[in-house]
Amino acid sequence: MLFVKIRKRFGSAQASSFLLQIDEEFPPGFTVLFGPSGAGKSTLLDCIAGLLKPDEGTIRLNDGIFFDGGKRFSLPPQERGIGYVFQSLALFPHLTVEENVAFGIARKAVSEQRELIARILIAFHIRELGERKPGELSGGEKQRVALARSLVTQPRLLLLDEPLTGLDAGLRRAILQDLAEWNAASRVPILYVTHNREEVDAVGERVVAITDGHVRGRGLPEAVLDAPRAAELAQAVGFENLLNGRVVGQKTADGIMRVLLNGERCELEVPLGSVEPGRAVEVAIRAGDILLAKEVPHGLSARNILAGTVESVETRGAMVEVRVNAGVSFVVHVTLGAARSLEIKEGLNVWLIIKTYSCHVVNRKGT
Could you check whether 2-233 and 239-362 share the same CATH topology? Answer: no
Tell which CATH classification among 3.40.50.300, 1.10.760.10, 3.40.50.720, 1.10.30.50 matches the domain 2-233.
3.40.50.300
Give the model's confidence band at 291: pLDDT under 50 very low, under 70 low, under 90 confident, else very high. very high
- Mean pLDDT check: name the lowest of 13-22, 129-138, 317-326: 13-22
**Residues 192-208: pLDDT tens digits?**
998 777 788 777 678 99
Measured distance CA(30)–CA(295) in Å, rounded = 48
Of 123, 86, 91, nearest to 104 (Cα)? 91
User: Partners of 245 in the beta sheet?
Assistant: 261, 281
**Residues 25-82: pLDDT tens digits?**
999 988 999 888 888 999 999 999 999 999 999 999 998 999 999 999 999 998 999 9
- Angle at the Cα of 217 from the Cα atoms of 205 and 253, rounded to 5 degrees: 110
Measured distance CA(330)–CA(339) in Å, rounded = 16
The backbone region for 258, taken as left when phi is positive above 0, alpha when psi lies in -120 to 50, beta otherwise, is: beta
| pTM check: above 0.75 | no
Q: What percent of the chain has pLDDT over 90?
A: 39
Q: How far is CA 55 from the centre of its chain?
A: 26
- Domain map (residue ranges) of the chain: 2-233, 239-362
At the topology level, CATH places domain 239-362 in OB fold (Dihydrolipoamide Acetyltransferase, E2P) (2.40.50)
Could you please report the per-residue DSSP string of 9-32? EES-SSTTSEEEEEEEEE-SEEEE
User: Partners of 315 in the beta sheet?
Assistant: 320
